[in-house]
Amino acid sequence: MRIKFCPKCKSYEIELMVGGEIGLYRCKKCGFSGSIFPEKEIKLNKRRIK
């Protein structure tokens, strides 16, 4: 899974403000906004429930 993060404060609390082809994102923590936010690959832990 890929997740966006803020290039300014490195927070993962990002919200999409305006959609479209590119989109406009905003960091909920520091308020930084822009159309390009880097992404990081993360691995999800899969747990089996019996």
Band (48; pLDDT cuts 50, 70, 90):
low
Number of structural domains the chain divides into: 1
Bridge-partner residues for 33, per DSSP? 26
Q: Do the domain assignments include residue 34?
A: yes
Query: Which value, in Å, is the radius of gyration of the alpha carbons in the chain?
Result: 13
* Residue 4, both tokens: 């966006």
pTM for this prediction: 0.73
Q: Do the domain assignments include residue 45?
A: no
d(CA 49, CA 13): 29
Q: Do the domain assignments include residue 48?
A: no
Domain that residue 21 falls in: 2-40
* Residue 21, pLDDT above cutoff 80: no
d(CA 37, CA 16): 11
